Amino acid sequence: ANTLKNCEIRIRGLKDNPLQIENFDKEYSNSTNYVLFPCANSIEISKVEFPKEKPMTLFIPDGNWNQGAKIAKKLNKNQNIIPIKLPQDSQSIYQLRSNPNKHKVSTFEAAINALKYIEKSTLKTDNAMNLFKKMISQVLILRGKKNGAKRGT
């Protein structure tokens, strides 16, 4: 939320303020709505014509892959939310955790890559990706690693 303009974070699982995913169709009825998650019925983002005249909302589930899939499944039940996904050639640079599937990217990477398609520009997203790379580099240094290699190697 600190790096993206017009970003709102909604937290699921709060005891006193539960997230009502079922009500998103009413809450976001004035916008064209998308959920970014690789599901069987997701449209590749490069094939989507995003509206210029109408506001749009992009839902990006966060959490581990199982949690994200559950949220995406609930959102996919809503006919007013269009499921989209990144291209298959997307690859993660996130070195802090590993995944055997190189096409599974972090939530932050997914958001930045999606914005490249939505905004049709890399100018705005380059700064955010540079911040992401810097964060990864700094965490690796704190862990005693530099550029993914152990200290002394």
Which residues in the chain show pLDDT less than 50? 148-153
User: What per-residue confidence (pLDDT) applies to 53?
Assistant: 84
User: What per-residue confidence (pLDDT) applies to 22?
Assistant: 78
User: What per-residue confidence (pLDDT) applies to 4?
Assistant: 65
Structure tokens at 99: 């995944």
Q: Beta-carbon neighbour count of residue 22 at 10 Å?
A: 11
SS3 (DSSP) at 36:
strand
User: What per-residue confidence (pLDDT) applies to 150?
Assistant: 47
Let me know: does 112 contact 127? Beta carbons within 8 Å.
no
User: What per-residue confidence (pLDDT) applies to 84?
Assistant: 94
